[in-house]
A = this chain, B = another copy of it.
Amino acid sequence: MVVNFARSPCPIASTLDLVGDRWTLVVIRDMLNGKSRYNEFAASPEGIPTNILAERLKRLTESGLAEKHLYQEHPPRFEYRLTHKGAELLPVLQEICRWANVHIPDTWIPPTAFMRKRRKSN
């Protein structure tokens, strides 16, 4: 189930092939907020099912958005951290937050730190 061919060369469709589902961006949000461990992701209020979480973490690493690091040998435990590629989705999530705060009632205002962070160049 590796993404070999996108549906089209459209940047939007291609991005959706990677993160276009109900859960992937929620996990990336958590990673951007400093979470890195399975139980931290599982503890988020949306309540991601554990099988979906495991599958998404695998897909994120396979698609180069995150990296898996062993941080403890016995028992083996892993951290999942965003790669540069994954972390650069921040502006997308920031725009989503801006939109939601305007158009969906009662959504949380994200921490200033989250909204102020900038991608490096461009």
Contacts and interface: CB of A to CB of B under 8 A. Distances in A.
Interface of A: 6-18, 20-22, 25-26, 29, 44-47, 85, 88-89, 91-104, 106-108, 110, 122
A47 B10 CA distance: 12
B46 A7 contact: yes
A99 B107 contact: no
Nearest to A32: B12
A45 B9 CA distance: 9
Nearest to A104: B14
B12 A93 contact: yes
A25 B12 contact: yes
Task: Determine which residue in A91, A94, A103 has the highest number of CB atoms from chain B within 10 A of its CB, and name it.
Answer: A103
Q: Chain copies in the assembly?
A: 2
A21 to B, nearest CB: 6
Give the secondary structure class of A's interface: helix
Given A9-B108, A91-B98, 5 more contacts: A11-B99, A14-B104, A88-B99, A89-B99, A92-B99
A15 B29 CA distance: 13
A100 B17 CA distance: 11
A26 B16 contact: yes
